[in-house]
Amino acid sequence: MGGFNPPHRLLLGAGPSNIHQRVLQAMSSSIVGHLDPYFLEVMDETKKLISKAFKTQNKFSLPISGTGTAAMEASILNIVEEGDEVVVGVNGFFANRMEEMVRRWGGKTIPIKKRWGDIITKEEIENALKNSNAKIVALVQAETSTGALQPLKDIAKITRSNDAILLVDAVTSFTGVDLEIDRWGIDICFSSPQKCLNCPPGASPITVNERALTKIRNRRKPVSSLYFDFVLIERYWSERRMYHHTAPIINVYGLREALVIALEEGLEARIAKHLKNSNALVAGVEAAGFEMNTEKKYTLPTLNAVRIPKDVDDMRIRQIILDTFNTEIGAGLGELKNQVLRIGLMGINSSERNVIFALDAIERAFRIEGHPIKKGAATNAATEYFSAH
Ligand code: PLP
């Protein structure tokens, strides 16, 4: 079989992002037992770090063993009971997936369907709650498939005043975009570390407040999944330390280190960095004659979806960028297949250097493909933006 030597790429796609060197180092440390006193300390530290990064006092803040999809499914199967009506914003690939999960776990969905790239308004949520018996609302804050950033603050107020639970997917927003669990009033929120945290997938941060836990503890029937049962998971992650499953110890090391790095940088500084680099990228793509897939004020700084002309083959563009620049750019997904390029600027990958590099790579790939765009227009506009800010 010989040596194992995967290419070292710059990952500017929809995730994973590149891994932080310190995370890699943490993940090459010695494994200990999942009930070793050392690991119990790591668990407690990780819980505290997750709470801090989510800006919450919730005791139930921990990593779910599995990728973001596991955290999504765990959230849904715990909170949704057979026959429950659930309002779901359906405006992208991951929003659609949440809707499907709600159905698979016995819920009845009240979908709010929007164009992929639009957001769900507070009026739409208010109407859906008024005209149904729904007591759960599920939304994606950062829709990776469309590049849209869903505002949540006002919607959280509405769900709270209607005595409903707000469940949020923050996979591509966590530590890259403003997210206030306690202040806004989000009841359940999950993420995944391979985006803004620059950590491999496998241990997915989640936080659940007492309102949601009370509903879960008082379910008419226990959850059908043993692996994702929050009540059982809590027994292992609380002082009781009751065995449930073997935690992915090395992934927890990595997540812990990634959270330490994020909090050292500071959440506000990170949010500002992601916004500035995205704004520069948008200035660049617009100067080159492209449009974003979203209204400007809803553009997601961590994942920038750029619309491309119909006669451009996005797969060829991506292949040229991969072959020539050893760099990954995301393709359109689902309804947006062949319509957008998705440029991820997440965590350490959100940098001035990568903005200029990505714009230059795109310009060159378009030229090679016979779709010349004005030479240097994109990189000049981004450079000007950086000089002015
Ligand atoms: N939700 C969103 C918004 C995502 O972008 C993703 C993955 O990209 C997921 C959920 C699923 O996460 P994973 O692929 O880690 O299972």
For 365-383, the pLDDT digits (tens) are 999 999 888 899 999 999 9
- In DSSP terms, 88 is beta-bridged to 111, 138
Q: How far apart are CA 210 and CA 195, in angstroms?
A: 28
Q: How far apart are CA 185 and CA 74, in angstroms?
A: 20
Q: How far apart are CA 381 and CA 153, in angstroms?
A: 33
What pLDDT does 180 receive?
Answer: 98
Q: Is the CB of 192 under 6 A from ligand 1?
A: yes
Which one, of 65, 57, 64, 109, lies nearest residue 83 by Cα?
109
Q: Write down the mean pLDDT value for the chain.
A: 97
Which one, of 44, 53, 36, lies nearest residue 258 by Cα?
53
Whose tokens are 């119909």? That residue is 310
**DSSP symbols for 104-148:** HTT-EEEEEE--TT----HHHHHHHHHTS---EEEEESEETTTTE
Query: What are the pLDDT digits (tens) for 23-49?
Result: 999 999 999 999 999 999 999 999 999
- Could you report how far apart the first and last alpha carbons of the chain are, in Å? 51
Q: Is the CB of 234 under 6 A from ligand 1?
A: no
- Is the pTM for the entire model greater than 0.95? yes
pLDDT band for 302, please (50, 70, 90 cuts): very high
Q: Tell me how far the alpha carbon of residue 68 lies from the centroid of ligand 1, in angstroms.
A: 5
- In DSSP terms, 62 is beta-bridged to 206
Query: In testing the pocket of ligand 1, which one of 11, 167, 171, 255 has its CB within 8 Å of the most ligand atoms?
Result: 171
Q: How many CA atoms lie within 13 A of 12 on its CB side?
A: 30
Q: Is the CB of 216 under 6 A from ligand 1?
A: no
Q: Tell me how far the alpha carbon of residue 171 lies from the centroid of ligand 1, in angstroms.
A: 6
Query: In testing the pocket of ligand 1, which one of 94, 204, 336 has its CB within 8 Å of the most ligand atoms?
Result: 94
Exposed/middle/buried for residue 106 (C-beta within 10 Å: 0-12, 13-18, 19+) = middle
Query: What are the pLDDT digits (tens) for 238-271?
Result: 999 999 999 999 999 999 999 999 999 999 999 9
Q: Which ligand 1 atom lies nearest to the CA of residue 15?
A: 8
Q: Is the CB of 172 under 6 A from ligand 1?
A: yes
Q: How far apart are CA 136 and CA 132, in angstroms?
A: 11
What pLDDT does 199 receive?
Answer: 98
Q: Is the CB of 144 under 6 A from ligand 1?
A: yes
Q: Which ligand 1 atom lies nearest to the CA of residue 201?
A: 15
Q: Tell me how far the alpha carbon of residue 145 lies from the centroid of ligand 1, in angstroms.
A: 10
Domains of the chain: 20-265 (3.40.640.10), 267-388 (3.90.1150.10)
Question: Three-state SS string across 148-195, please?
Answer: EECCCHHHHHHHHHCCCEEEEECCCCCCCCCCCHHHHCCCEEECCCCC
Q: By alpha-carbon position, which residue is closest to atom 7 of ligand 1?
A: 68
Q: Is the CB of 69 under 6 A from ligand 1?
A: yes
Q: By alpha-carbon position, which residue is closest to atom 15 of ligand 1?
A: 68
List alpha helices for 177-266, DSSP H. 181-184, 210-217, 230-237, 249-265
Q: How far apart are CA 123 and CA 260, in angstroms?
A: 38
Q: How far apart are CA 251 and CA 63, in angstroms?
A: 9
Q: By alpha-carbon position, which residue is closest to atom 14 of ligand 1?
A: 68
Q: How far apart are CA 120 and CA 141, in angstroms?
A: 10
Q: Is the CB of 72 under 6 A from ligand 1?
A: yes
Q: Is the CB of 68 under 6 A from ligand 1?
A: yes
What pLDDT does 1 receive?
Answer: 78
Query: What are the pLDDT digits (tens) for 70-107?
Result: 999 999 999 999 999 999 999 999 999 999 999 999 99
Q: Is the CB of 94 under 6 A from ligand 1?
A: yes
What pLDDT does 377 receive?
Answer: 96
